[in-house]
Chain A
């Protein structure tokens, strides 16, 4: 039985037994290579679920939709390892109760889909641990290497050019499971710290603020990057921040549902190399 079929069967069982009230998975999209999120609450609908190598969107963000989890009923969700890490962070930041989430874990290797064993987020600790170990290679990318080699001035102008394209649509924020604030800092206008108009300065402010808010939290799912209509390589900034916190504090985001946020926690043996 293919993994797709296995998961459909499992979804059917869970929904018909009432163990979960909803399954969030992937359905067919408008084109052959596109999948769109699918929300089903009836066992009869499980045939619409698709699971293949183009299921890349991180669906964890839908779990924190206003009111979805407030009845304390369980919800099942299809997640890749990044999505599972996101559940840990959302739980650690009190946005959801991890026990309410039933995970349909999978990963894509080449174009082969593999099932990940486990139901609750704790059961994936080994999977997450091994990504942490492999982290440096994960983002090996030509552009990233190129930016790393630039002088600070060159890098600054590189990003200046990229951010100049930003149209402040906030699609990156809407797509990101970590951007769950009820009021984002850019929407706060007393005072208006971040300029709303999309000129270079305002764009810089916005993108840098977001990178800071995501440092130690971004799971590198790529939702923001794919959502950006003007193709700013947002994943690279976030990856760079992830490397920084890993190097400085040995903090890898989403390791466990009790992980303390790196910017709010203080350990006596934190390195002080960056304090002048």
Chain B
């Protein structure tokens, strides 16, 4: 006989204000099989949990239903309490009468009625629940960090410094990401390269870090603690084991007029190249698209120059297979292409540039060696207009969200410009100045007060060329009048967007993303660095636009998550796994294909003489994640999911 305990939680006012808990408790008390039905203000509190435990012991309960908040909040709490009272934790279920009831309804009577339905349906399920034992799986103590920007490097270093193995995969030729492109950084104006390069070198030389550059993730299988990852090593056409990084090939390469991606089109590079002088590793790659040999079959000057015989035009892509326990995704961001603002003339007028291009102009290692020169004729601009939110907070043409860093870097640009061109004049069009952060408001005040940046509150409507000047027309909304400025250069604080392949890549690793392609955290407030996939963590700007301090902090947070995971020998996994009824399975293999975790194999059933009499599907409980996809697919209804069996779900539905 079932003896179910029903524990109805007021959740303070959250449930109590809408649902008549006394009435609910009374109604559940009447329901067949319910031995105890009580209400309390906060069952998740210590005394609350104690009372549940006491009730289990005193009444020999065979199952527990806690009618409260979402199981995402406290299922673990109550299951643990049940286990402490000697009841198998899987005999405890949560009836969600908060998110699914009190929070979404206004009418008290109807909400109470619905709460009764939800709770009753859970009681019916629990009556049919089975005792389940957790599954133990070993943990591979090796982390994979994807993306070698500051976030990825920080995460890799923190994990490696704690003594665990890391594989750091970067798809470009060098570590560094966007930070390597920056000149000086807010809010302290320290030189980006100077603080970045030592980190890059440290990561590359760390005995616990295996660095794979010019490498892409091909596939990710498995689950927390036990991922198998395949990495494609794109052919550099330069043998990393032979090349000494002398750079002779680069000097001799005759294809010199290629627009440099690293310099955002403001500088030139050769076909065999390293993106920047401090590249880590300092080993060039051949850009197949632009290499004269690959185009015409003649040249090979680099190969002739190379003293180490490191160049190999027939080098194929190769693959590296890795066993991984945890993954940190740190794939960063891109800046939006501003050509959608026809009225700003980006892409049309060479002297309308974006913020990242300005960083290259201001950078000592950039194409102008740090001199501010406008791209069209190399002249020093005397008047510069900065346009903030050129793409951000603009649902019609750009993106709806705030890119978070542009207010700060525009203030920084104004300062850098003032420090380099003493006679120069800056105007900054802005919507609001968002300078929240340690030292941030002081920083932007400094731009205004010490470096005389003229902030104009308002939008720019048009930029056009006239008499060798860029005419900027906008409106000063504080003074309520139109303004027109004749500028020598215009800098757009373009929006930070997700990597163009972010959604695609999310599917490769199996994590969620928002409408813009930024990766979704498991809980914005309480689990901000975990993805919704166990064992996969998020660091840096791939999760949302971020500056360096935030990226680094988040990266260290992921490292602590990874290390916590690696501190155990065995992981306990939920025993929510699928099983197959071999008698009824039709062997169509639909489930084998449908399973996103490759957890289903084909199994031969043989007779005594070893002859195959039937082929059926068989679930590997070590791989199964309990998603239930196979169950819904199977036409013959042969698959069932422990903890959510068809019988249990059916009872739940019929209980409504």
Give the interface of A toward B (CB within 8 A). Answer: 93-95, 180-185, 188, 190-191, 193, 213, 260-261, 263-266, 268
Given A180-B586, A183-B636, A268-B504, does the pair A191, B593 have CB atoms closer than 8 Å? no
How long is the Cα–Cα vector from A263 to B633 in the complex, in angstroms?
A: 7
Chain B 637-656 against A: per-residue CB contact (8 Å), 1 yes, 0 no? 11000000011001100000
Between A and B, 29 residue pairs with Cβ closer than 8 Å are A94-B588, A95-B586, A95-B587, A181-B584, A181-B635, A181-B636, A182-B584, A182-B585, A183-B583, A183-B584, A183-B638, A184-B636, A185-B635, A185-B636, A185-B637, A188-B584, A188-B636, A188-B637, A193-B637, A193-B646, A193-B650, A261-B588, A263-B594, A264-B590, A264-B593, A264-B594, A264-B633, A268-B504, A268-B507
How long is the Cα–Cα vector from A260 to B593 in the complex, in angstroms?
A: 8
Distance in Å from the Cβ of A271 to the closest Cβ of chain B?
Answer: 14
Distance in Å from the Cβ of A195 to the closest Cβ of chain B?
Answer: 12
How long is the Cα–Cα vector from A264 to B635 in the complex, in angstroms?
A: 11
Q: Which residues of chain A come closer than 8 Å to B615, judged between CB atoms?
A: 94
Q: Which residues of chain A come closer than 8 Å to B646, judged between CB atoms?
A: 190-191, 193
User: Does A94 contact B587, Cβ atoms closer than 8 Å?
Assistant: yes
Q: Which residues of chain A come closer than 8 Å to B596, judged between CB atoms?
A: 266
User: Does A93 contact B647, Cβ atoms closer than 8 Å?
Assistant: no
User: Does B507 contact A261, Cβ atoms closer than 8 Å?
Assistant: no
Distance in Å from the Cβ of A104 to the closest Cβ of chain B?
Answer: 26
Distance in Å from the Cβ of B382 to the closest Cβ of chain A?
Answer: 51
How long is the Cα–Cα vector from A94 to B614 in the complex, in angstroms?
A: 11
Contact partner of B589 (CB less than 8 A), chosen from A94, A181, A182, A185, is: A94
Residue of B nearest to A185 (CB): B637
B167 contacts partner chain A, Cβ-Cβ < 8 Å: no
User: Does B647 contact A191, Cβ atoms closer than 8 Å?
Assistant: yes
How long is the Cα–Cα vector from A94 to B616 in the complex, in angstroms?
A: 11
Distance in Å from the Cβ of B625 to the closest Cβ of chain A?
Answer: 15
Interface residues in B599-636 by Cβ distance below 8 A to A read 615, 633, 635-636
Given A263-B633, A268-B507, does the pair A182, B594 have CB atoms closer than 8 Å? no
Distance in Å from the Cβ of B590 to the closest Cβ of chain A?
Answer: 4
Distance in Å from the Cβ of B597 to the closest Cβ of chain A?
Answer: 12
B interface residues, tally (CB under 8 Å): 24
User: Does A265 contact B636, Cβ atoms closer than 8 Å?
Assistant: no
How long is the Cα–Cα vector from A268 to B501 in the complex, in angstroms?
A: 12
User: Does A213 contact B635, Cβ atoms closer than 8 Å?
Assistant: yes
B591 contacts partner chain A, Cβ-Cβ < 8 Å: yes
Residue of A nearest to B640 (CB): A190
How long is the Cα–Cα vector from A182 to B587 in the complex, in angstroms?
A: 10
User: Does A93 contact B589, Cβ atoms closer than 8 Å?
Assistant: yes
Distance in Å from the Cβ of A136 to the closest Cβ of chain B?
Answer: 28
Closest 7 CB pairs of A and B: A191-B650, A264-B594, A181-B636, A183-B584, A264-B590, A93-B588, A264-B593
User: Does A261 contact B590, Cβ atoms closer than 8 Å?
Assistant: yes
How long is the Cα–Cα vector from A266 to B597 in the complex, in angstroms?
A: 13
A-B contact sample (9 more), CB < 8 A, given A183-B637, A265-B594: A95-B588, A181-B584, A181-B586, A181-B636, A182-B636, A183-B584, A190-B647, A260-B593, A261-B588
How long is the Cα–Cα vector from A213 to B615 in the complex, in angstroms?
A: 21
User: Does B586 contact A182, Cβ atoms closer than 8 Å?
Assistant: yes
Residue of A nearest to B646 (CB): A191
Q: Which residues of chain B come closer than 8 Å to A266, judged between CB atoms?
A: 594, 596
How long is the Cα–Cα vector from A181 to B638 in the complex, in angstroms?
A: 10
Distance in Å from the Cβ of B447 to the closest Cβ of chain A?
Answer: 44
Distance in Å from the Cβ of A208 to the closest Cβ of chain B?
Answer: 13
How long is the Cα–Cα vector from A170 to B591 in the complex, in angstroms?
A: 25
Contact partner of B593 (CB less than 8 A), chosen from A180, A185, A265, A268, is: A265
How long is the Cα–Cα vector from A261 to B589 in the complex, in angstroms?
A: 9
Distance in Å from the Cβ of B351 to the closest Cβ of chain A?
Answer: 40
Distance in Å from the Cβ of B164 to the closest Cβ of chain A?
Answer: 32
Q: Which residues of chain B come closer than 8 Å to A260, judged between CB atoms?
A: 593
How long is the Cα–Cα vector from A181 to B585 in the complex, in angstroms?
A: 8
User: Does A261 contact B593, Cβ atoms closer than 8 Å?
Assistant: yes
Residue of A nearest to B634 (CB): A185
Q: Which residues of chain A come closer than 8 Å to B593, judged between CB atoms?
A: 260-261, 264-265
Q: Which residues of chain B come closer than 8 Å to A94, judged between CB atoms?
A: 587-589, 615
Q: Which residues of chain B come closer than 8 Å to A265, judged between CB atoms?
A: 593-594
Q: Which residues of chain B come closer than 8 Å to A188, judged between CB atoms?
A: 584, 636-637
Q: Which residues of chain A come closer than 8 Å to B507, judged between CB atoms?
A: 268
Q: Which residues of chain A come closer than 8 Å to B588, judged between CB atoms?
A: 93-95, 261
Distance in Å from the Cβ of A181 to the closest Cβ of chain B?
Answer: 4
Q: Which residues of chain B come closer than 8 Å to A191, judged between CB atoms?
A: 646-647, 650-651
Most chain A beta carbons < 10 A, residue from B587, B591, B615: B587
Q: Which residues of chain B come closer than 8 Å to A182, judged between CB atoms?
A: 583-586, 636
Contact partner of A263 (CB less than 8 A), chosen from B583, B586, B589, B590, is: B590
How long is the Cα–Cα vector from A190 to B589 in the complex, in angstroms?
A: 23
How long is the Cα–Cα vector from A95 to B586 in the complex, in angstroms?
A: 8
Q: Which residues of chain A come closer than 8 Å to B636, judged between CB atoms?
A: 181-185, 188
How long is the Cα–Cα vector from A193 to B651 in the complex, in angstroms?
A: 11
How long is the Cα–Cα vector from A235 to B628 in the complex, in angstroms?
A: 31
Q: Which residues of chain B come closer than 8 Å to A263, judged between CB atoms?
A: 590, 594, 633
Residue of A nearest to B647 (CB): A191
Q: Which residues of chain B come closer than 8 Å to A268, judged between CB atoms?
A: 504, 507
Q: Which residues of chain B come closer than 8 Å to A184, judged between CB atoms?
A: 636
Q: Which residues of chain A come closer than 8 Å to B504, judged between CB atoms?
A: 268
Distance in Å from the Cβ of A68 to the closest Cβ of chain B?
Answer: 15
Distance in Å from the Cβ of A198 to the closest Cβ of chain B?
Answer: 20
How long is the Cα–Cα vector from A66 to B275 in the complex, in angstroms?
A: 66
Q: Which residues of chain A come closer than 8 Å to B591, judged between CB atoms?
A: 264
How long is the Cα–Cα vector from A94 to B591 in the complex, in angstroms?
A: 12
How long is the Cα–Cα vector from A58 to B588 in the complex, in angstroms?
A: 21
Residue of B nearest to A70 (CB): B613
Distance in Å from the Cβ of B470 to the closest Cβ of chain A?
Answer: 42
Distance in Å from the Cβ of A211 to the closest Cβ of chain B?
Answer: 12
Distance in Å from the Cβ of B50 to the closest Cβ of chain A?
Answer: 37
Q: Which residues of chain B come closer than 8 Å to A93, judged between CB atoms?
A: 588-590
